[in-house]
Amino acid sequence: MKLLLIEDNRVLAKSLVRGLRQEGFVVEHFLRGDDGERFLLLHHKIVDVVVLDLMLPGQSGEEICANAREKDISVPIVMLTAKDTTKDKVNGLMIGADDYLTKPFEFDELVARLHALLRRQPELQKQKIFLTENIFIDFGKKTVYKGDTEQTLAPKEYAILEILVKNSGNAVTREQIFDKVTDFAADNWSNSIDVHIKNIRKKLFKDTGYDPIKTVRGVGYRLDTDE
């Protein structure tokens, strides 16, 4: 899941980026509001959720949130702020924030709220998708099963599989996959997507006689769930 963090407190931001990445999120971080807003406006289609500080240099969190909603950008937004009055919370929600967390907060609570927001997304309403007759992905648990046995996938492997499932039947380019599962600071993607696909195939489909992940030459990959 691609997460956009706009937070100007360097110490807090460093801690959040480290923790969120350990939780499996791909994190893009900006210290300034105007830089973060620019990224959101350009790349909102690949952002799954935004964690947005209220008081920021360059552009306030309130302005970023309001501008995004005016442009019909529906990415879920969790607002972080030291302001804890009911009026402040109501104002944040009224301008389009989906949730509101007061500083200081527990990291586990932030993660729980993020997952709760992501579960509400239309793409995840259908909880289970079968990839083959007995292999399915459970979106609610973010887990893949062979029959009743849970399969162990690395976070990026699961993220890539989820992208292919959500675009089932359509080709997805390597670049589109990379943008979704890797932060923009990465300076070299080479054949990393191909390596992850190879690992997914080996872990899930090697002994099944059917591989639903099809290579689209010169483009990327496509998931076909029908044999």
User: Could you read off the pLDDT of 121-160 as tens digits, one per residue?
Assistant: 655 555 788 898 889 998 877 889 998 899 999 888 998 9
Is the confidence at residue 61, as pLDDT, over 90?
yes
At 204 the pLDDT is 93
- Residue pointed to by tokens 């059917």: 210
> Domain 127-223 falls in which CATH fold?
Arc Repressor Mutant, subunit A (1.10.10)
pLDDT confidence tier of residue 71, bands split at 50, 70 and 90: very high
CATH assignment of 2-122, given 3.40.50.970, 3.40.250.10, 3.40.50.2300, 3.20.20.140? 3.40.50.2300
pLDDT for 30 equals: 96
**Beta carbons within 8 Å of 205's beta carbon, 6+ residues apart:** 132, 135, 211, 212, 213
Contacts of 10 (CB under 8 A, 6+ apart): 31
Is the predicted pLDDT of residue 85 greater than 80, yes or no? Answer: no
Confidence grade of residue 86 (pLDDT, cut at 50, 70, 90): confident
Domain ranges in the chain are: 2-122, 127-223
Please give the model's pTM, rounded to 2 decimal places.
0.71
What average pLDDT does this structure show over 213-223?
Answer: 91
**Distant-in-sequence, close-in-space partners of 30: CB < 8 Å, separation ≥ 6:** 4, 5, 6, 36, 39
Confidence of residue 65 (pLDDT cuts 50, 70, 90): very high
Confidence at residue 186, expressed as pLDDT on a 0 to 100 scale: 58
Cis geometry, peptide bond prior to residue 104 (ω within 30 degrees of 0):
yes
Task: Work out the mean pLDDT of the chain and round it to a whole number.
Answer: 87
Average pLDDT over residues 37-59: 93
